[in-house]
Structure 1
Amino acid sequence: MAVAVRAGAAPLWWSGLVAAAAGAFVPGLSGRRVGLLAGAALFLITAAVVASARSGRYTELARGADRAGRGDFLQDRAVTLRAWRRGRRWWLLTAFVAAVASSFLLPGAGGLLLAGAGVGLWLKAVRIGQREGREDVLYWVRTDWAGHGSPVGKRVRGHRTTGPAAGDAAPGGARRRRR
């Protein structure tokens, strides 16, 4: 489940940084200093909001998680990342273009907003990983329940658990290091 949360973090972070860097070279209507200061504030606010959004639903589903059964279809980390990013590539491209275009008004602010959303998703995945580490399990969402939606969306009726050695993801959705 943390993989699905973490899947958007890297594309949002990197596209946000590139958009902010491009915006820093545009003087904009408000000036670079005002734009980048507004962007820094948006970065912090967005990261906090995204990191705490729907945390009650995550906790509720984690508390009621059942052990994964033989009939549960759970997919690997790489497949989850690829499906998430392919399903949202046009949305990510549109967000990047909007962030660069917003630099003509507030230089760098739109890019830092995107980067803040990426950091917020990463922080949420870290928090899930800490819970997984404490409880010595990995949380999963059945693929047929989540589809291309959220790991805590309306269609998700519960989470599944496996041991921490299952799959190719470490707690928190990071890539498992092979020894």
Structure 2
Amino acid sequence: MAVVVRAGAAPMWWAGVLAASVGLLVPGLTGRRIGVLAGIALFLITAAAVGRTGLARHRASAGSATRAGRHDVLQDRAVTLRVWRRGHRWWLALAFLVAVGASFAVPAAPGMVLAGIGVGLRLKAASIGRRESDDGALLWVRADQLNARGGRPAGPAVTEYRTTGPAAGDASPGGARRRVTV
């Protein structure tokens, strides 16, 4: 489940950094200094808000998670990332274009907001990962429920979470790639 939360973090971060960089090239209506200072404040606020939003819903669903059965279909980490990013690529492109366009009013600030969303998603995945480590079980969403409506791990199509042991799958707690030591 943390893989899905984390799937949007990297594209949002890099799109935000690129949009903020492009935004620095234009003076904008407010000036670069005000734009950058506003962007820093908005980055911190956005990262904190996105990192905290929905955690109670995740915790409630994780508390009632059941053990994954033999017939549950659970996706690999790479497949989950690819499906989520393909399904959201146009939204990511639109967010980037809006951030670049809004930089003509307030330079760099919209790009920093987009980067803040990416950091907030990464913080949320880390929080879920801490819970997985504490419980000693990875949280999963069945593939049919996850892919049914937009790939949201706490969306209306997801009825319950599944758990497996911490060694199952190719993801470590928090959605990161599992490091294989030989």
**What is the TM-score with the length of structure 2 in the denominator?**
0.97
C-alpha RMSD over aligned residues: 0.7
State the shift of 1:155 in Å: 1.3
The number of residues matched between the two structures is 179
Aligned partners of 2:46 and 2:146: how far apart in 1?
25
State the shift of 1:71 in Å: 1.1
State the shift of 1:44 in Å: 0.9
For residues 9-24 of structure 1, the aligned pairs below 5 Å read 9-24=9-24
The yes-or-no answer on 1:108 pairing with 2:97 is no
Aligned partners of 2:153 and 2:166: how far apart in 1?
19
State the shift of 1:149 in Å: 2.8
State the shift of 1:152 in Å: 0.6
Q: Is the 8 A contact 2:4 2:151 kept in 1?
A: no
Aligned partners of 2:50 and 2:143: how far apart in 1?
23
State the shift of 1:154 in Å: 1.2
Name the counterpart of 1:94.
94
Name the counterpart of 1:2.
2
Name the counterpart of 1:50.
50
Name the counterpart of 2:169.
167
Q: Which amino acid aligns with 1:91?
A: W
State the shift of 1:45 in Å: 1.0
**What is the TM-score with the length of structure 1 in the denominator?**
0.98
| Runs of 5+ consecutive residues of structure 1 not aligned to the other structure | none
Q: Is the 8 A contact 2:73 2:143 kept in 1?
A: yes
What do the CA deviations read for 1:85-114 (whole angstroms, capped 9, x no partner)? 000000000000111111100000110000
Which runs of at least 4 in structure 1 moved beyond 4 Å after TM superposition?
A: none
Aligned partners of 2:171 and 2:31: how far apart in 1?
44
